Amino acid sequence: MKLMTNEETILKKDLIYWIDKDFIQDRAISLFGKEFSEEEIVQVTKYIESGLAYSVFDIIDIALKETKEDSLI
């Protein structure tokens, strides 16, 4: 797996999925009726990163296996 430097940018067309601050703020407004502060965004980011770290490979593996099975039908 190639690691990125701080100066590199990933184009949206090269991403499978992304979560950005706008998406988080939209969800905060939807759930709580207000945007989160920068401090709250930092905490949200930590929780998201932690949650994804536990499950991202399982999710990817399931998606790959399901796709492979679909292509056999």
pLDDT of amino acid 7:
74
Which of 46, 41, 47, 43 is closest to 28 using CA atoms? 41
Instruction: Let me know if residue 2 belongs to a domain.
Output: no
Instruction: Let me know if residue 9 belongs to a domain.
Output: no
Residue 71 has pLDDT above 90, yes or no: no
Instruction: Let me know if residue 42 belongs to a domain.
Output: yes
Instruction: Let me know if residue 11 belongs to a domain.
Output: no
User: What does the alpha-carbon distance between residue 35 and residue 29 come to, in Å, rounded to a whole number?
Assistant: 5
pLDDT tens across 5-39, in order?
777 888 888 999 889 999 999 999 999 999 999 99
Per the structure, how many domains does the chain have? 1
Instruction: Let me know if residue 31 belongs to a domain.
Output: yes
Range of the domain at 46: 19-72
